[in-house]
Structure 1
Amino acid sequence: MNNIEFKHLILNAKYFTKYEPIINIKTQKIFAYEALSKFEIDNNLISTEEIFRHLHHNNKLFFELEKRNKLLQIKNFPKKKKLFLNFDADICVSNEQQSYWELFLNELKDNIVVEITENGSDDETSANIMRNFSLWLNSKQIDTALDDFGQDGSMFSFYMMNGSKYIKIDKSFLRQIECNRNYLHYLKGILKTIRLNGQLSIIEGVETQADYNLVKTLDCDYVQGYYFDEYQIVV
């Protein structure tokens, strides 16, 4: 697929947003929602990860697409809860992009948490872009969440971890614990560190009753996953 064909497909794709609840583990009530995006191209659902791998080579198209997507995510979100929005640092590198997102986020900052996502690359350039994005968000006093902590292929950065209000523990932890219970002690240590640092933890990947029973025994703040209800908007 060439760049022209890809751009045409992306701009004309049907766009889905699922709002997945984030549950307070102690009260068992909904604390917030995360907006999760998918695109339908030729009747096939394609993950945002697949789309974004292409978009990282086209910053202008990536920025324009995310402007549309974030506006729709906000517009179609009726709940009076916090909304976690995934942001890739690569769409906030130029002065134009920073000016746009500053205005967009400032109007919503009391209800928005920016999830800082990775593009799958751990090279020095990507690390610097993410670090600068985190620094920029903190300077604007916008709450952030470090997404997918512990995911395969993700980079670990004390700076990124220390600069985030929320730490989202990747679902791979629960999957590993299913195979080897020794990893439970590792997870407990991470959760203790997060709490001692005055941060808030969110365990992702709660998909079964067994998962939920396990996380209720842990000293975490919030949980998230397919075990809980979600609703979907199609545009």
Structure 2
Amino acid sequence: MNTQEFRYLIKNAKYQTKYEPIINSKNESIYAYEALSKFEIDQEIISTEEIFRKLHHNNLLFFELERRNKELQIECFDEDKKLFLNFDADIVNTIEQKEYWEDFLKPHKENIVVEITENGSDDEKSTKIIHQFSQWLKNKNIDSALDDFGQDGSMFSFFLMSRSKYIKIDKSFLAQIRENKNYTFYLEGLLKTIKMNNQKSIIEGIETKEDYDLAVNLGCDYMQGYFFNDLVIIK
């Protein structure tokens, strides 16, 4: 898909927003939702991940897409819960972009959590941009979540961990534990470290009752995954 086709997508594609619940492991209540977007072109659904990888080096078009995305995600959300919004640091890079997002987030600051994602972040320059974005959120007193912690190929950074209120533990942890129970001790230690740092843990990829029981028994704060699919909201 070339740039012209992407531009057509952004301006004409049908958007669909899905809100996935984040569950409190202590009482099974819904603590928050994560907003996820899908695009429909000629009745074919395309995920944002595919789009982001292609747009990573087209800053203006990427920003245009995400501005429309985030406006829709907040506009359609009418739950009295926190809302987690995925942000790629590359769309909060220029002075103009930072001013726009600050004005956009400010009225919702008490209820919004910005998830810092690493889509396409594969070089030293991208790492620097992510660190700057994390510090910018901290300076603006906007809560952030470090997404996909432990995912294959993701960047491990004490800097990002220390500036995030929430640590979202990637589903790959649970996948590894299914293969080798000894990896449970890694997850247990990580959860203890997060708690000792007065942060909140969210285990992603809860798909089975076994996953659910493990997350609860290890004392994570929140859970997210297909196991809770009947609570998903689509708009």
- Equivalence for 1:129: 129
- 2:161 is matched with 161
Q: Aligned with 1:77: secondary structure?
A: coil
Deviation (angstroms), 1:37? 1.3
In structure 2, C-alpha distance between the alignment counterparts of 1:29 and 1:44, rounded to whole Å = 34
Q: How far apart in 2 are the matches of 1:195 and 1:217?
A: 15
Paired residues, number: 233
1:88–1:119 contact (8 Å) kept in structure 2? yes
Matches of 1:137 and 1:29, distance apart in 2: 28
User: Which residue of structure 2 lines up, in the alignment, with residue 231 of structure 1?
Assistant: 233
Q: Could you state the TM-score of these two structures normalised by the residue count of structure 1? A: 0.96
Q: TM-score, normalised by structure 2?
A: 0.96
For residues 57-76 of structure 1, what are the structure 2 equivalents within 5 Å? 57-76=57-76
Give the conservation status (yes or no) of the 8 Å contact 2:52–2:120: no
Q: Would you say the 8 A contact 2:56–2:120 is kept in 1?
A: no
CA RMSD of aligned residues (A): 1.0
The DSSP-based 3-state class of the residue aligned with 1:216 is helix
Aligned mates of 1:3, 1:37 — CA distance in 2? 20
Q: Report the residue type matching 1:108 in the other structure.
A: H
Tell me what 1:174 maps to.
174
1:214 — aligned with what? 214
- Bigger fraction of residues in helix: 2
Deviates more, 1:190-199 or 1:8-17: 8-17
Match for residue 45 of structure 1?
45
Residues of 2 paired with 1:145 and 1:172: CA distance? 18
Letter in 2 for 1:231: I
Q: What is residue 9 of structure 1 aligned with on the other side? A: 9
Structure 1 position 231, deviation (Å): 1.1
- What is the alpha-carbon distance in structure 2 between the residues aligned to residue 73 and residue 5 of structure 1? 23
What is the alpha-carbon distance in structure 2 between the residues aligned to residue 138 and residue 70 of structure 1? Answer: 20
**Could you list the runs of 5+ residues in structure 1 that have no partner in the other structure?**
none
Note the C-alpha offset of 1:122. Answer: 3.1
Equivalence for 2:79: 79
Secondary structure of the residue that 2:142 maps to in structure 1? coil
Q: Partner letter of residue 18 of structure 2?
A: K
Residue 120 of structure 1 contacts residue 154 of structure 1 at CA under 8 Å; is this kept in 2?
A: no
Partner Cα distance (1:166, 1:210) in 2? 23
Amino acid across the alignment from 2:220:
C
> CA separation in 1, counterparts of 2:55 and 2:80?
32
SS in 1 for 2:100: helix
Measured in 2, the distance between the counterparts of 1:161 and 1:153 equals 16
Which residue of 1 is the match for residue 20 of structure 2?
20
Matches within 5 A, 1:24-35: 24-35=24-35
Whether the 8 Å contact between 1:120 and 1:153 is mirrored in structure 2 is: no
Distance 1:95 1:10 in 2: 23
- Aligned-residue offset at 1:92: 0.5
Moved over 3 A (4+): none
